[in-house]
Amino acid sequence: MGALEDLLASGAPVAGPAPWPRVVLDAVGWTAIGEALAEGALSLAALWGEADAVHAALLDETAASLAVATLACPDGRFPSLGRRHAAAIRPERAIRDLFGLVAEAAPDARPWLDHGCWAARQPLGRALPQEPAAPYAFLPAEGEGLHRMAVGPVHAGIIEPGHFRFAVNGETVVRLETRLGYAHKGIEALMQGATIERAAGLAGRTSGDSTVAYALAFARAAEAALGVAVPARAHWLRALMAELERLANHFGDIGAICNDAGFALMLAHCAILRERVLRTADHCFGHRLMRDLVVPGGVALDLEAPAAASVRDLLAEIHRQFPRLIALYEGTASLQDRTCGTGIVAPGLARRFAAGGYVGRASGRDFDARRMPGYQPYGQLRFEVPVFERGDVDARVWVRIREVEQSLSLLAQILQAMPPGAIRVNLPPGGGEGMALVEGFRGDIFAWLSLDAAGRVRRCHLRDPSWFHWPLVEAAIEGNIVADFPLCNKSFNCSYSGHDL
């Protein structure tokens, strides 16, 4: 039996969740999760809270299965998974900040999202009055010649807010610690009690660069909860939008990474391709980022024939331009000198953190939610999942380059084979519980949604891939020089907003 089956057998199944099971465990069963995670038998897909319970979404990659485990916390405490599995530490800190549930014997008891600025503490649990926050205790780094550099939350470029604390010895980074939460908007609280439409809008604003992927994750979770089958054409249109989004972001990233290595020419050219993708999206669907177009029940707009032709033109233009840019990347020694061997994430670490997207795939983790667990229409499309082993900035660039090529092929196939028909169905009344795992450009996004009998959101949790990328940024930069930090960081391009929620 697989590790996940063992776990399921040890708990009490909950009736209703779709498409994956959820079981209620006792504290012993919950602790066993920690062991299975530490041994690598399971991967942590998400860890989140409610007012009186904690949930862990667990992935068995060998058995290709997923399930959620729940532990009731009537006395506000639960055994820490972070004690055995480092990827759980930050989610547990967030659970404490938001719900007041304490992870017992957790290795890190510092607050995470709560900076002492909200009107109340534990806003989603039993709210307590705010207290003056103690200064945040950054982890120590001691030794001769070390000094500290504080960067952020306001950065020099046009990027999101976050704080980086470096301990450096001369040029070399000895320790980097990130402090996040600045972009925390309370999205989960805003969703509670909201209509599905309103919550879908919030999901699409969790990380703007992944608005299609988030809207898709939320819509799929809602459809699973309500048992709705979406028309075939809607699945294909969703995939079209998702691949356009992937293209736009990968072009942006490839250009920006090279720019952070001082090679502005690449940024100039990639930015043109990115702009062409956004203009095509705008032409097809009336919004450059394709916001609010994937909706629970289907999609809001159809793709008309002239618009489909504009996507074909776009593909042709990219096929003309992109090979030259790949050659430019490969053939510029001064650029390769910066990207190769810089910011290495060891494969073992990527596996332990179940790092999704280009971060995992550049470090040998062969996982893509479009393939496993998989969702429509990708089962009917041919695509490869590029995997590299070196785990450096260069490998993360190459994953993106190869994924651009795959997305181009996918878009051509979609245009070719998209079935006609309806694009949206009405949602039936009622409630339920659903989940989804969707591959955004950055990695897999997990959504869990519980609807009450009136069809309003009881609880929703959205887990950004960046939760498991940020800790790896800290690992990747160790031993590199400070000047390579922007380059390393851009090669991850983590979402602050998606993480901070």
Partner 1 sequence: MRTLLFRSLIATPLSQPLPPGPEVALDTLATCLDGAARRRLGRSLAIRALDAGSCNGCELELNALSNAFYDLERFGLRFVASPRHADVLLVTGPVTANMREALARTYQAMPGPKWVVAAGACAIDGGAFAGSYAVLGGAAAGVPVDLRLPGCPPRPHELLRGLLALMDPPRRHDAGDPPGDRAAPRSA
Residues making contact with ligand SF4 (CB under 6 A)? 205, 208
Q: Which is nearer to ligand SF4, 3 or 202 (CB)?
A: 202
Closest C-alpha to 88, from 76, 66, 73, 105: 105
**Other CB atoms within 10 A of residue 171 CB:** 10
Q: Which does 465 bind (CB under 5 to 8 A by kind): ligand SF4, partner 1, none?
A: none
Are the CB atoms for 173 and 154 separated by under 8 Å? no
Q: Is residue 139 a contact residue for partner 1 (CB under 8 A)?
A: no
In the complex, least distance from residue 265 CB atom to partner 1, rounded to whole angstroms? 7
Cis peptide before 153, with omega less than 30 degrees from 0?
yes
Residue 133 binds partner 1, judged by CB under 8 A? no
By CB under 8 A, residue 158 contacts partner 1: yes
* Site for partner 1 contains 151 (CB under 8 A): no
Residue 272 binds to partner 1 (criterion: CB under 8 A):
yes
Contact 36, 343 (CB under 8 A): no
Looking at residues 226 to 255 of the shown chain, list those that interact with partner 1 (rule: CB under 8 A).
Answer: 252
Q: Which of 50, 92, 160, 243 binds partner 1 (CB under 8 A)?
A: 160
CB 152 within 8 A of CB 163: yes
Distance in angstroms (rounded) separating the CA atoms of residues 77 and 103: 6
Answer for the pair 141, 167: CB distance below 8 angstroms, yes or no.
yes
Pick the stretch among 308-316, 352-360, 404-412, 492-500 that binds partner 1 (CB under 8 A).
492-500
CA geometry: angle 224, 229, 231, nearest 5 deg: 135
* Residue choice 209, 392, 403, 433 for contact with partner 1 (CB under 8 A): 209
Helix (H) or strand (E) holding 245: helix 232-260
Residue 183 is a binding residue for partner 1 (CB under 8 A):
yes
Helices 232-260 and 393-417, packing angle to 10 deg: 150
- Tally Cβ neighbours within 10 Å of residue 155: 15
Q: Does 117 engage in binding with partner 1 (CB under 8 A)?
A: yes
Cβ proximity to ligand SF4: between 350 and 445 the closer is 445
3-state secondary structure 472-488: HHHHHHCCCEHHHHHHH
Residue 123 binding: pick among partner 1, ligand SF4, none (C-beta 5-8 Å cut-off by kind): partner 1
Binding partner 1 by CB under 8 A: which of 119, 134, 137, 229?
119
User: How far, in Å, CA of 269 to CA of 199, rounded?
Assistant: 37
159 binds, among ligand SF4, partner 1, none (CB under 5 to 8 A by kind): partner 1
* In the complex, minimum distance from the CB of residue 208 to ligand SF4, in angstroms, rounded to a whole number: 5
Taking CB under 8 A as the criterion, the residue among 65, 70, 211, 466 binding partner 1 is 211
d(CA 190, CA 333): 50
Output the CA torsion sign for 202, 162, 34, 477. Answer: positive
371-430: which residues touch partner 1 (CB under 8 A)? none
Is the four-CA dihedral 121, 126, 129, 135 of positive or negative sign? negative
* 70 vs 493 by CB, closer to ligand SF4: 493
Closest CB to partner 1 among 69 and 212? 212
**Which of 14, 149, 268, 422 contacts partner 1 by CB under 8 A?**
268
**3-state per-residue secondary structure call for 96-136:** HHHHCCEEECCCCCCCCCCCCCCCEECCCCCCEECCCCCCC
Residue of 43, 70, 178, 206 that binds partner 1 (CB under 8 A): 206
Residue 240 backbone phi and psi in degrees, to 5: -60, -45
Q: Which of 27, 146, 328, 387 binds partner 1 (CB under 8 A)?
A: 328
Closest approach of partner 1 to the CB of residue 325, in Å? 8
- β-pairing verdict for 77-79 and 43-49: unpaired
Give the one entry of partner 1, ligand SF4, none that residue 31 binds, where binding means its C-beta sits below a cut-off of 5 to 8 angstroms depending on kind. none
Size, binding site for partner 1 by CB under 8 A: 50
Cβ closest to partner 1, residue 40 vs residue 123: 123
Return the one option of ligand SF4, partner 1, none that residue 332 interacts with (CB less than 5 to 8 A, by type): partner 1
480 touching partner 1, by CB under 8 A? no
Number of H helices, E strands in the chain: 16, 17
Footprint of partner 1 (CB under 8 A): 115, 117-120, 123, 153-154, 156-161, 181-187, 189-190, 201-202, 205-209, 211, 252, 265, 268-269, 271-272, 274-275, 278, 288-289, 291, 324, 328, 331-332, 495-497
